[in-house]
A = this chain, B = another copy of it.
């Protein structure tokens, strides 16, 4: 269905704008993704928004036209509006010309098939939405199955996380669970849990990784709790030569994920 909204105080504009806050996303089970690039990634992964807002600037762009047609065809709403109202929705002066409202994409841990992928990323108490999105983007690049968020983490559906994921939010499975639930599920099937830690001398390039490998990334400030480290099949250390004793969490995740991927492709 296509329609037009021109008024700032339209209740739908207010409702969509409220999705910038976690409590409203949670209540509605919806989130925002902005921009043609990310929304086209989603479409190519077979995922369409329930609502698509567009400014007139978007109307002639072939990717925008394809998106609008697809949403319309699938029974979603295509809503023409002004650049100003899009700015209001997105909270930015230079808003994208398309904004989509998507149903949230959490996958229950119980239905994850671990054999679908060689690598799974697991992050504990991650705090930064940019790191979360970047880890998803890296997961897509290494052919990971998804990101399992353990304990209380930043919301994967925040605008910042969606943006940093560059669309990988739509290609990676996203799971949220408690540690006990995760470790119970993990031990019910094959797979090694690898933690990065300062409390080991084993270099991250030393072990021979095998599929499926679960890479456990700790909180940005505190790293992994001692009992989580103790539950790992193996702890490894990324060598650091400088003054600092840690890497950015998304960088550490990428170094580990590419080490596993590179080993598997050399052996393939």
Chain A residues within CB distance 8 Å of chain B: 41, 44-45, 130, 134, 137-143, 164, 166-168, 171, 205, 238-244, 246-248, 250-251, 254-255, 258, 261-262, 265
Q: Which residues of the partner chain B approach A262 to less than 8 Å between Cβ atoms?
A: 205
Q: Which residues of the partner chain B approach A247 to less than 8 Å between Cβ atoms?
A: 137-138, 141, 254
A261 CA to B238 CA, complexed, in Å: 11
Task: State whether B244 touches A168 (Cβ < 8 A).
Answer: yes
Task: State whether B241 touches A142 (Cβ < 8 A).
Answer: yes
Q: List 6 A-B contacts (CB under 8 A).
A: A45-B243, A130-B130, A141-B241, A168-B244, A205-B262, A251-B254
Known contacts A239-B265, A240-B141, A241-B143; decide if A166 and B130 are in contact (CB<8 Å). no
Which among B44, B168, B242 is the interface contact of A141 at CB below 8 angstroms? B242
The closest CB in chain B to the CB of A141 belongs to B240
Q: Which residues of the partner chain B approach A171 to less than 8 Å between Cβ atoms?
A: 242-244
Known contacts A130-B130, A265-B239; decide if A140 and B254 are in contact (CB<8 Å). no
The closest CB in chain B to the CB of A165 belongs to B244
Q: How far is the CB of A166 from chain B (nearest CB, A)?
A: 6
The closest CB in chain B to the CB of A134 belongs to B248
Task: State whether B41 touches A244 (Cβ < 8 A).
Answer: yes
A164 CA to B138 CA, complexed, in Å: 19
The closest CB in chain B to the CB of A253 belongs to B251
Task: State whether A137 touches B168 (Cβ < 8 A).
Answer: no
Q: How far is the CB of A106 from chain B (nearest CB, A)?
A: 20
Nearest 7 CB-CB pairings of A with B: A140-B242, A143-B241, A141-B240, A251-B254, A134-B248, A171-B243, A140-B244
A167 CA to B245 CA, complexed, in Å: 11
Q: Besides A138-B247, A141-B241, A141-B247, 15 other CB < 8 A contacts?
A: A41-B243, A134-B248, A134-B250, A137-B244, A137-B251, A138-B251, A140-B242, A141-B242, A142-B241, A143-B242, A166-B244, A168-B243, A239-B265, A241-B261, A248-B254
Q: How far is the CB of A44 from chain B (nearest CB, A)?
A: 7
Which of A164, A171, A240 counts the most chain B CB atoms within 10 A?
A240
A140 CA to B240 CA, complexed, in Å: 8
A254 CA to B250 CA, complexed, in Å: 10
Q: How far is the CB of A21 from chain B (nearest CB, A)?
A: 17
Task: State whether B244 touches A167 (Cβ < 8 A).
Answer: yes
A31 CA to B40 CA, complexed, in Å: 40
Q: Which residues of the partner chain B approach A241 to less than 8 Å between Cβ atoms?
A: 141-143, 261
